[in-house]
Structure 1
Amino acid sequence: MKPEKKNQKPEKEIPKSTQIPSKVEIAQFRQSLKQNICVELLQQGYHRSFSEFFFLLTCDEARREAAEPGSDLKLQSPLGGQHHKLEPMREHLSWAERAEKTGSWTVVCEQRLSLGKFFSCPEDLWLSLHFYHSCSDRELGGHSRPATEARACMAELYLQQGDLEQAKQQAELCMRMAEDGGWLDSDRRPLKLRARRSLWRIYSRLAQAPLEEGDTEQGLRLMHKGHCMARQSQDKQIEGEACHLLGLTYQSTGDHTTALKGEYDRACEFFLQGYDVACNLGDVTLLQRAQVMVSSARAHSLIRKYSEDVESSSHDALSRLVDWKETRGRADATDHSQPAWY
């Protein structure tokens, strides 16, 4: 045996920071984040979350392949490379699946509602709608508060896209469900009022097509439905805008070629309602618009009645013309109690 050397220093331990990484750590380093998330979801038993996560990544790739060269979609980064979006998807999807296993359906819908709100960028609209639909169209949990809010969100998104029928369907469903539950949205606003605010815009937009095609009856019917929703929304600003828009509609259909006598009077009624609301709100812009439109509608009404009396040879018509000549129309233009056209 060799004699032990004096002053021999003991072997130093390898610092943890320089230890050789494990195979798992090496794999995580070498693989992309989307691959690591897929592996993690499977290892933790979230098989449904894995399937949905992988399905959405595949949909994104298919959308990009089908896009025209040089389009905005082609220029965007693939979903699989946007790390700030993948982690929230993993977190909320796994949380939703965990709640689903225990029958906590409201929690499931809350997680999916959160994902729908998270994807708020215009390029992520398809993802937002996917999660809103997966929240509200569920057999279990589909009538919960978060599912009802998801319908309100979808109504607003479809309205932005111009898909008025889908927007109308979602807003009407939201209103019926909110009436039963009396729920508030995430910002503590009544969902039924939020649905009514959307519906007045939807009905007003739906009225444009029949009005442009000359179907005055259908257009005005839709405009009145929108006006009714605005009145029930408890939002005075919207109510004033609805009165103003309905007044404009009546004014646009009130000339002689439409064979509707008296529409300028109806227009003036709604402009006056908008004027009253604007006064209460103190909204100067809306107030000025209302003043102009009240004056315009009343003037058109007076001109039409004046023309009718000029063309008529009746005693009453001549009396009104003589009275007007003497007063020069100094009567209050907003006084509807006046029996004559002046």
Structure 2
Amino acid sequence: MTTLPPLPMTRPKLTSLARQKLPCSPTTAPRSQLIKEKNDIDHYLEENFKGLSKEEVAAYRNSYKKNIYVDMLRDGYHKSFTELFSLMEQWDAVRDPARFGSLFLQRPLEEQRDKLDHFYHYLTRAEVAERKEYFEDVYNNLYALACYFNNSEDRWVRNHFFERCFKIAQLIKMDGGKKEAEAHGNMGLLFEEDGQLLEAAEHYEVFHQLTHGRMWKDETGRFLNLLACESLLRTYRLLSDKMLENKKYKQAIRILIKAAEIAKEGNDRKMEGEASYYLGLAHLAAGEYETALTVLNTYSKISTELDDDLSLGRAYEAIAKVLQSQGEMTEAIKYLKKVVKIARNNFQNLDVVRASTMLGDIYNEKSLEDPQWKIYLKIQSIWKKN
């Protein structure tokens, strides 16, 4: 998801006036100081603003958040007020020190006027569009809020607007399903970040189905179908990792075969190679060595085609593990030496150490004679000490 460029904020009269008011003391200030501050503000208003109404004068005395509330209600945006009021209650709950302790440093919303301005601007525009049943405009305004709050501190606010966008997208009928597809992609991300991988996969699958055969692009110019493929593959891989941890090899292989089919559809050779790699490792974990070799050889061929040395080194290392499991030590050594060479040429020191450790283990276990075996054993020894 891409953050949209900032738009000029629409501010009603009270809020605009309130932005000019003198800085106020913290609420913990002594009563005498607050009274003096009120008198200072009254004097400031009398000297600088003639003919203000009582309502306008109140804008200087009220908090900025309260002025936003007043403006929404006065201008008839009751639905926006209700939604913002609910969000502010959640905001206060998130900042509750009893839940997060003194280390939770999120600033009060009162100190973040730009955020309040964004709430007013986009919520009221969305409400106007919804009254007219311009649902695409509703979606765009809510999506703009989701983009604005796309940061670690306010992610829960972003997620709220993701969910709102998802509901509105079901009502949009004139775009061929593009907004609905985007909304499913965003909901998949929401669940993926929360660790709910099955729910994420369900949304990504619909995202993939809706974008199949379409040339739709996102704001950055990326094809939505390719993004759907990548998201689905990532989630399938995470699901397969959990399955392999629980020794559910058949389930893991089944879902990775599905991932490989989707990768081919995406017309991205690198993505196809990655899918082959993880499928090969799953077959290795299941003890299906011949199948693992076939799949991993596909990965090595793709890596060679792409002139991707790092991927090729990873393919050779995985193939060596399969050969080692089959007892084909001489062949395994050949591939590991290739890994060491590729890693050295690309300054991948950890890969050199890992492959050398595997070689050292093989030489040590089988007492194989080779001019370099002592070097590998030495690297292995140094690595284990560190």
Please confirm whether the aligned pair reaches a TM-score higher than 0.5, indicating the same fold. yes
| Whole-angstrom distance in 2 between the partners of 1:236 and 1:90 | 46
Q: Which residue number in structure 1 is paired with residue 75 of structure 2?
A: 44
| Whole-angstrom distance in 2 between the partners of 1:231 and 1:243 | 10
Q: Does 1:286 align with 2:311?
A: yes
Q: Letter of the 1:128 partner, please give it.
A: R
Q: Which residue number in structure 2 is paired with residue 88 of structure 1?
A: 118
| Whole-angstrom distance in 2 between the partners of 1:281 and 1:158 | 33
Q: Does 1:61 align with 2:86?
A: no
| Whole-angstrom distance in 2 between the partners of 1:141 and 1:81 | 37
| Whole-angstrom distance in 1 between the partners of 2:271 and 2:82 | 44
| Whole-angstrom distance in 1 between the partners of 2:102 and 2:262 | 39
Q: Deviations over 1:169-194 (max 9, x none)?
A: 22122223333865322223222221
1:56-205 equivalences under 5 Å are: 56-65=87-96, 68-70=99-101, 74-138=104-168, 139-141=170-172, 144-179=177-212, 183-205=216-238
Is the 1:113–1:150 Cα contact (8 Å) retained in structure 2? Answer: no
Q: Is the partner of 2:91 in helix, strand or coil?
A: helix
| Whole-angstrom distance in 2 between the partners of 1:66 and 1:18 | 41
Q: Which residue number in structure 2 is paired with residue 271 of structure 1?
A: 296
CA, structure 1 residues 288+120, in 2 after alignment: closer, same or farther (shift >3 Å)? same
Q: Is the partner of 2:153 in helix, strand or coil?
A: helix
Q: Is the partner of 2:171 in helix, strand or coil?
A: coil
Is the 2:184–2:204 Cα contact (8 Å) retained in structure 1? Answer: yes
TM-score by length of 1: 0.74
CA, structure 1 residues 280+86, in 2 after alignment: closer, same or farther (shift >3 Å)? farther
The alpha-carbon deviation at position 20 of structure 1 amounts to 5.5
Q: 165-174 or 63-72, which moves further after superposition?
A: 63-72
The alpha-carbon deviation at position 26 of structure 1 amounts to 2.1
Is the 2:214–2:225 Cα contact (8 Å) retained in structure 1? Answer: no
Q: Does 1:253 align with 2:286?
A: yes
CA, structure 1 residues 84+283, in 2 after alignment: closer, same or farther (shift >3 Å)? farther
The alpha-carbon deviation at position 83 of structure 1 amounts to 1.7
Q: Does 1:241 align with 2:241?
A: no
Q: Letter of the 1:264 partner, please give it.
A: Y
Unaligned runs of 5+ in 2: 1-45, 332-386
Q: Which residue number in structure 2 is paired with residue 29 of structure 1?
A: 60
Q: Is the partner of 2:328 in helix, strand or coil?
A: helix
Identify which of 205, 225, 231 aligns with 2:258: 225
Is the 2:123–2:142 Cα contact (8 Å) retained in structure 1? Answer: yes
Q: Is the partner of 1:75 in helix, strand or coil?
A: coil
| Matched positions, count | 282
| Whole-angstrom distance in 1 between the partners of 2:183 and 2:111 | 27
| Whole-angstrom distance in 1 between the partners of 2:213 and 2:296 | 34
TM-score by length of 2: 0.66
CA, structure 1 residues 214+79, in 2 after alignment: closer, same or farther (shift >3 Å)? same
The alpha-carbon deviation at position 211 of structure 1 amounts to 2.0
Q: Is the partner of 2:143 in helix, strand or coil?
A: helix
Q: Deviations over 1:57-114 (max 9, x none)?
A: 1122233338524265x43123344222221121111111111122211111111112
| Whole-angstrom distance in 1 between the partners of 2:61 and 2:124 | 24
Is the 1:113–1:147 Cα contact (8 Å) retained in structure 2? Answer: no
Larger Rg, first or second structure (1 or 2):
1
| Whole-angstrom distance in 2 between the partners of 1:288 and 1:209 | 25
The alpha-carbon deviation at position 127 of structure 1 amounts to 1.1
Is the 1:203–1:222 Cα contact (8 Å) retained in structure 2? Answer: yes
Q: Which residue number in structure 2 is paired with residue 318 of structure 1?
A: none
| Whole-angstrom distance in 2 between the partners of 1:269 and 1:30 | 75
Is the 1:33–1:83 Cα contact (8 Å) retained in structure 2? Answer: yes
The alpha-carbon deviation at position 53 of structure 1 amounts to 0.9
Q: CA RMSD in A?
A: 2.7
Q: Letter of the 1:137 partner, please give it.
A: K
Q: Is the partner of 1:137 in helix, strand or coil?
A: helix
